[in-house]
Amino acid sequence: MTDLGKTPTRRELLTAIGMIGGTAALYQAMTTMAHAAETQFAGPPNLSGARKGATVIVLGAGLAGMLAAYELTKAGYRVRILEYQNRAGGRNWSLYGGDTYTELGGATQKVQFAPGNYLNPGPWRIPHHHRTLLHYCKAFGVKLEPFIQFNHNAYVHSDAFGGKPQRFKSLAADFEGNVAELLNKSIDQKALDATLTAEDRDKLKEALRDWGMLDKDMRYTKNLRSSEHRGFDRPPGGGVNGSPIPSEPFAFKDVLDSRIWTQMAFFMNYEFQTTMFQPVGGMGMIGKAFGAQVQPLVTFNAKVSKILQDKKGVTVSYTDTSTGQAQTARADYCVCTIPLGILNQIESNLSDPLKAAVAAVPYSNSVKIGLEMNRRFWEEDQAIYGGHSFTNQEISLISYPNFDYLKDGPAVLLGAFASGMGAYRLGGMTPEERIETALAQGSVFHPAQYRKEYRNGASVAWSRVPWTMGCCARWNEDTRKQHYQTLVGIDDRVVLAGEHASYVGCWMEGALLSSIDAITRLHKRALEA
């Protein structure tokens, strides 16, 4: 803590922010103070001079594996990719009408979405500062469009207000207005004299008036000024009844009970700030574009069962799942992008420290549910165009489609993006039970339309996805300190890559950055051999 009257150092301020707000708040503050930066992308790797005939086997045709194969091939290596699935992309994946998906336990879903509609079970948005991914999207011709992250007109649902959802803009405006009024009172009562000069106090009062939409008496009340933020009972119009009618602010206790600051802070998180993007036609378009670059190199339906390395190379045993035939592949080096939970079950002679690192990192769960509706009632009836409505129920949020605005016909909204205990509860249900739960909980936002307009749906619980058995790696401070450098280090002739081998975990950007780092070091090792 700092003494009253003493200006805190940056270190003291960052420490306080971290104690109060946690790592997300700390990282945001560090970014603001120029202590953190955008992801570490300085351009494609400059690899050249590969030894004639040098070979690399890549395990996994997700983004990390395909980028490794693409850049190593450019450098002169002969590369082969083994992929468990019958498609490229890994967790970069979209489900369209006509697709079939079978999860662990055997439940099979036949997706019935109308043409053009889709569910992104994994990644679904791209931050503006994920420059590696944006670079390769541009290079490979992936067309992008805006992803609407922040929508003032969407809803927030909690136990406050008798469980009735309220517009984000109204709750946020009332929170800011009341906080501004309270802070102004503390200034008038000279509570901040020890830390602010007279000039700074005047500037802060001016800022509070404008930020909180306070009246001339520095109070947050029902008037046209506060309604400019929270919305009007009758918005400005034309003609005889054109004059606007201001709305009544909520009681501050109810605003606090809603915990609206949780959503306000969410949109300020570094990873979620605007502008964000999505591929036109579904996130799977990225996987398809990467796949087009390396298509001749990929062996699909290859289930890896053993990874053995010796002084001369790496031998990988696998089964062709379409024929049941056992096969082997050999190369000088191996880039392994298999998710850690799966890799931990594969026989290998990797070093004991690396095996311990692989086993030390758990994977989170997540559940996404796509609900196709007969019409875009959220647009037509509630004027919501993209963005999210939040709830404290297990589904966590619903997200509205960010394309084809004002279009007639069916559309798919994201009916759940559950994590934590909610994801495990939904993951334990059958696909049909998940849909029913999503309809029941999502109805709090649109009670008159949700069930009436529902057509069909699909869900993916990542704990039941056969090729990952989880959503993404979840390091903590202790496991990173003990195992991270071992995990990313070159283990003789094998190097790991993927989002789990990065500090940008759970994002495609992390997978690509780790891949570039891994192949750059592997190339150096190969040249020195």
| Residue extent(s) of CATH 3.90.660.10 domains in the chain | 95-153+274-282+364-464
Query: 160-164, 269-273, 305-309: which has the minimum mean pLDDT?
Result: 269-273
Please tell me the predicted confidence (pLDDT) of residue 43.
Answer: 87
Assigned fold of 168-255: de novo design (two linked rop proteins) (1.20.1440)
Please tell me the predicted confidence (pLDDT) of residue 39.
Answer: 66
CB atoms within 10 A of CB 139: 12
Among left, alpha and beta (phi > 0; psi -120 to 50; other), residue 75 is alpha
Annotate 161-225 with DSSP letters as a single string.
Answer: GGG--EEHHHHHHHHHHHHHHHHHHHHHTTTTTTT--HHHHHHHHHHHHHHHT--TTS---SSHH
d(CA 432, CA 385): 28
Task: Return the top range by mean pLDDT from 36-40, 249-253, 265-269.
Answer: 249-253
- At 156-169, the pLDDT tens digits run 999 999 999 999 99
pLDDT band at 195 (very low <50, low <70, confident <90, very high): confident
Q: What single-letter DSSP state applies at residue 525?
A: H
**Residue pair 297/81 in contact by the 8 Å Cβ criterion:** yes
At 511, list the tokens. Answer: 């997978």
CA dihedral 109, 110, 115, 116 (to 10 degrees): 20
| Residue extent(s) of CATH 1.20.1440.240 domains in the chain | 168-255
d(CA 402, CA 278): 9
d(CA 107, CA 105): 6
Average pLDDT, the chain: 92
d(CA 212, CA 176): 5
Using a pLDDT cut of 70, give the percent of the chain over it.
Answer: 93
- At 42-76, the pLDDT tens digits run 889 999 899 999 999 999 999 999 999 999 999 99
Please tell me the predicted confidence (pLDDT) of residue 84.
Answer: 98
Please tell me the predicted confidence (pLDDT) of residue 29.
Answer: 40
CATH class of segment(s) 95-153+274-282+364-464 = alpha beta
- At 431-449, the pLDDT tens digits run 999 999 999 999 999 999 9
Among left, alpha and beta (phi > 0; psi -120 to 50; other), residue 58 is beta
Assigned fold of 55-89+287-360+473-528: FAD/NAD(P)-binding domain (3.50.50)
Please tell me the predicted confidence (pLDDT) of residue 196.
Answer: 87
Q: Rounded to the nearest 5°, which phi and psi values hold at 494?
A: -120, 135
Mean pLDDT for 275-290 is 98
For the question of whether the overall pTM of this predicted structure is more than 0.95, the answer is no
SS3 527: helix
Please tell me the predicted confidence (pLDDT) of residue 7.
Answer: 44
**Residue pair 380/394 in contact by the 8 Å Cβ criterion:** no
| Residue extent(s) of CATH 3.50.50.60 domains in the chain | 55-89+287-360+473-528
At 374, list the tokens. Answer: 């007969």
Please tell me the predicted confidence (pLDDT) of residue 270.
Answer: 87
Mean pLDDT for 178-206 is 91
Please tell me the predicted confidence (pLDDT) of residue 40.
Answer: 80
CA dihedral 337, 341, 347, 348 (to 10 degrees): 50
d(CA 179, CA 252): 9
